[in-house]
Amino acid sequence: MNKIETKNLNLYYGTFHALKGITMSVKANTVTALIGPSGCGKSTYLRLFNRMNDLIPGVKIEGDVLLDEKDIYNNKGMRIDELRKKVGMVFQKPNPFPKSIFENVAYGLRVNGMNHASFVEERVETSLKQAALWDEVKDKLKKSAFALSGGQQQRLCIARALAIEPSVLLMDEPASALDPISTAKIEDLIYELKNKYTIIIVTHNMQQAGRVSDKTAFFYLGDLIEYNDTNIIFTNPTDPNTQSYVTGRFG
Amino acid sequence: MTHLDVELKRLKDEIVEMFELVTQQMKKSQLAFIGFDREIAREVNFNEKRVNALELKIDKDCENIFALFNPVAIDLRFVLAVLKINSNLERIGDIADGISRYVIGTGNPFDKELIDITRVNEMFVMAVQMLSDVQKAFDSEDTKIARGIFQKDDLLDEINENANSVIENYIRSHEGNISQSLHIISAIRKLERTGDQVKNVAEEIIFFLEAKVLKHVSEK
Ligand SMILES: Nc1ncnc2c1ncn2[C@@H]1O[C@H](COP(=O)(O)OP(=O)(O)OP(=O)(O)O)[C@@H](O)[C@H]1O
Ligand SMILES: [Mg+2]
Domains in chain A and their CATH numbers? 2-95+166-246 (3.40.50.300)
> What is the four-CA torsion angle of A18, A23, A28, A33, rounded to 10 degrees?
-50
Which residues of chain A from 193 to 232 reach within 8 Å of chain B, CB to CB?
206-207, 210
pLDDT tens digits, residue range A96-125? Answer: 999 999 999 999 999 988 889 999 999 999
Interchain pair A246, B73: CB under 8 A: yes
Whether the Cβ atoms of residue B133 and residue B145 lie closer than 8 Å to each other: yes
Which residues of chain B, if any, have pLDDT below 70? 219-220
CATH dotted code for B3-219: 1.20.58.220
| Strand duo A2-13 + A16-27: pairing | antiparallel
**Ligand 1 mean position, distance from CA A87 (Å):** 21
Whether the Cβ atoms of residue B32 and residue B98 lie closer than 8 Å to each other: no
Report the gap between the CA of A211 and the closest CA in chain B (Å): 12
Per-domain residue ranges of chain B: 3-219
- Can you give the three-state secondary structure of A135-147, one letter per residue? HHHCCCCCCEHHH
Above 80 in pLDDT, residue A22?
yes
Q: Given this model, what pLDDT does residue B220 score?
A: 65
Q: Given this model, what pLDDT does residue A112 score?
A: 87
Ramachandran class of A198: left when φ > 0, alpha when ψ lies in -120 to 50, beta otherwise? beta
The average confidence (pLDDT) of chain A is 94
What percent of chain A lies above the pLDDT cut of 70?
100
| Strand duo A31-35 + A215-220: pairing | parallel
Q: Look at residues A2, A64, A10 and name the one whose alpha carbon lies nearest to residue A30.
A: A2
pLDDT tens digits, residue range A203-217? Answer: 999 999 999 999 999
pLDDT tens digits, residue range A119-149? Answer: 999 999 999 998 889 999 999 999 999 999 9
Interchain pair A236, B77: CB under 8 A: yes
Residue B39 CA to residue B35 CA, distance in Å, equals 11
Is the ipTM reported for this complex over the cut 0.90? no
Q: Given this model, what pLDDT does residue B219 score?
A: 64
**Which of A12, A15, A16 has most ligand 1 atoms within 8 Å of CB, for mutation?**
A16
Nearest beta carbon to residue A248 from set B4, B76, B77: B4
Instruction: Indicate the pLDDT class of residue A181, thresholds 50, 70 and 90.
Output: confident
A238 interfacial to chain B (CB closer than 8 Å): no
Phi (first) and psi of residue B217, to 5 degrees? -115, 135
Q: Given this model, what pLDDT does residue A205 score?
A: 93
Q: Which residues of B touch A249 (CB under 8 A)?
A: 2, 5
Q: Given this model, what pLDDT does residue B24 score?
A: 98
Whether the Cβ atoms of residue A222 and residue A40 lie closer than 8 Å to each other: yes
Interchain pair A236, B2: CB under 8 A: no
- Can you give the three-state secondary structure of A173-226, one letter per residue? CCCCCCCHHHHHHHHHHHHHHCCCCEEEEECCCHHHHHHHCCEEEEEECCEEEE
Q: Give the chain B residue whose CA is nearest to the CA of A232.
A: B73
A76 interfacial to chain B (CB closer than 8 Å): no
Report the gap between the CA of A234 and the closest CA in chain B (Å): 5
Q: Given this model, what pLDDT does residue A245 score?
A: 95
Is the whole-model pTM more than 0.90? no
3-state secondary structure (DSSP) of residue B8: helix
Whether the Cβ atoms of residue A61 and residue A9 lie closer than 8 Å to each other: yes
Q: List the Cα angle B211/B212/B218 in 5-degree steps.
A: 165
Q: Given this model, what pLDDT does residue B1 score?
A: 76
Beta strands in A94-180 (DSSP E): 168-172
> What is the average per-residue pLDDT within A32-46?
97
Whether the Cβ atoms of residue A92 and residue A176 lie closer than 8 Å to each other: yes
